[in-house]
């Protein structure tokens, strides 16, 4: 629940818990005895901020701290007797674990998730929604009656992919583990479920990694230029940098270093912002960090190969020579890829995907694939050229090569799009 309560520091092994939303908090202690984690000594805490109430809270926390030190000392000396130290604990656990409905424990877990000090807000929302779904399904089941079939029956009838089920089980597994620690369950109901067998039966996502082949790329660029030359530049740049759409649409001219020299060409661009969805469903820029964080990009330099640099330089000339865009330069905030129809930046990345991109593919007579396939196209092209997986992962903003191997490990394609081919690094950037 955190390392302080109402401004009062909590020593190690002492915690404040709220059994259910709206109920009175209690202070308890945690300790390990005979290879098992125990919680005991549930002392009610006042919730007010008066001097008397704060003093009472401090006294309760001090009492719990002293009791835990006493227990640890007895455990070390080999004289600890759980039943003598906490005579009511077994009776309380039996009453809670055997008779209380799962609704009680799920509501308690929701409270803990909401107050978790490190969870992102979107994670808290997702976990709470999953727990509420479980409450609808098993809320009336008593803890003593909870069995594996309650979970299996529910999960089997869901029309979702395996990854969704794994995510749904995360907060539930945490709750079950806590109930086992507290003695509120005598056995793990999840132990009887063959989760691998269950997940294998769930349909995989319909999404297919299908990079654009060279012949398709040529047609797409022609259709993009017919719609607007900026679109042609954008798509070419996208294929040769592999950026996420949320990263692409917030690039600014100040992010570009044209004079930078590297072994594969000239120029690099800084990626440290993303146009992402916020917790309230709106869209906004988020600033990245050195490490990957939820809804934030990994701040990095992306080196520009010749096709990417050519597309970017051509786009900058368009921006500087387009009177409509120049007049709205303040509005576009120096975005490299503003919406050419408005001169302003895109307010959400899927707007291009749902309108212009759909029309471009239709004009090119290419079956629709979403813009994320531009990222897949970059990855497979770089691997086909013989580039190092670690370097590719860094360029794409991955922490390691696991994602590359898992998604593209079987997609070694040559630069003409022939499955199974492999070509060493070369200076051919046009697929000829």
pTM of the full structure: 0.56
* Geometric angle at alpha carbon 336, from 331 and 342, rounded to 5°: 45
- φ/ψ of residue 365, rounded to 5: 55, 45
pLDDT for 91 equals 56
d(CA 358, CA 343): 20
DSSP labels for 323-350? HHHHHTHHHHTTBSS--TTTSS--SSTH
> Can you say whether the dihedral through the CA atoms of 229, 235, 236, 237 is positive or negative?
positive
Return the pLDDT at 432.
36
* Blockwise average pLDDT, block size 10, the chain, 432 residues: 74 81 81 77 81 88 91 89 76 58 91 84 85 92 88 83 82 89 82 75 63 94 94 96 93 92 86 77 66 57 94 91 51 78 80 87 93 93 88 90 79 42 46 42
Please report the pLDDT score of residue 22 as a whole number: 67
CA-CA distance, 141 to 144, in Å (whole number)? 8
Predicted pLDDT of residue 413 = 44
Contact of 249 with 337, CB cutoff 8 Å? yes
Q: Which candidate, 340, 327, 311, 370, places its Cα nearest to that of 228?
A: 340
């Amino acid at each position: 629940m955190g390392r302080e309560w109402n401004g009062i520091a909590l020593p190690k092994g002492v915690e404040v818990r709220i059994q259910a939303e709206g109920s009175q908090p209690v202070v308890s202690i945690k300790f390990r005895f005979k290879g098992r984690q125990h919680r005991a000594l549930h002392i009610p805490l006042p919730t007010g901020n008066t001097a008397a109430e704060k003093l009472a809270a401090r006294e309760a926390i001090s009492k719990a701290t002293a009791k835990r030190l006493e227990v640890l000392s007895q455990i070390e000396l080999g004289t600890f007797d759980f039943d003598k130290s906490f005579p009511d604990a077994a009776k309380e656990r039996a009453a809670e674990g055997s008779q209380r409905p799962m609704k009680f424990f799920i509501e308690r877990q929701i409270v803990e998730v909401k107050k978790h000090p490190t969870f992102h807000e979107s994670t808290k929302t997702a976990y709470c929604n999953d727990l509420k779904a479980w409450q609808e399904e098993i809320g009336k089941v008593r803890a003593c009656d909870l069995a594996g079939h309650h979970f299996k029956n529910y999960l089997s009838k869901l029309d979702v992919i395996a990854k969704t089920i794994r995510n749904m089980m995360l907060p539930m597994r945490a709750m079950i583990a806590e109930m086992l620690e507290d003695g509120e369950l005598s056995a793990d109901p999840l132990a009887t479920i063959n989760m691998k067998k269950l997940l294998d039966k769930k349909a995989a996502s319909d999404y297919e990694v299908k990079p654009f082949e060279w012949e398709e790329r040529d047609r797409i660029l022609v259709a993009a230029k017919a719609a607007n030359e900026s679109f042609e530049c954008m798509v070419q740049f996208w294929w040769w940098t592999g950026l996420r759409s949320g990263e692409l649409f917030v690039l600014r001219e100040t992010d570009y270093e044209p004079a930078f020299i590297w072994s594969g060409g000239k120029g690099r661009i800084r990626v440290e912002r993303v146009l992402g969805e916020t917790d309230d469903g709106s869209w906004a820029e988020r600033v990245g960090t050195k490490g990957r964080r939820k809804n934030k990009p990994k701040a990095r330099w992306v080196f520009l190969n010749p096709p990417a640099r050519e597309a970017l330089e051509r786009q900058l000339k368009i921006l500087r020579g387009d009177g409509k865009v120049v007049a709205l330069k303040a509005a576009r905030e120096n975005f490299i890829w503003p919406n050419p129809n408005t001169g302003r930046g895109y307010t959400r990345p899927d707007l291009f995907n749902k309108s212009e991109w759909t029309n471009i593919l239709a004009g090119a007579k290419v079956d629709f694939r979403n813009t994320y396939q531009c990222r897949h196209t970059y990855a497979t092209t770089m691997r086909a050229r013989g580039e190092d997986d670690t370097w590719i992962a860094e360029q794409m903003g991955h922490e390691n090569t696991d994602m590359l191997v898992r998604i593209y490990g079987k997609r070694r394609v040559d630069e003409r799009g022939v499955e199974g081919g492999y070509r060493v690094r070369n200076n051919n950037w046009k697929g000829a």
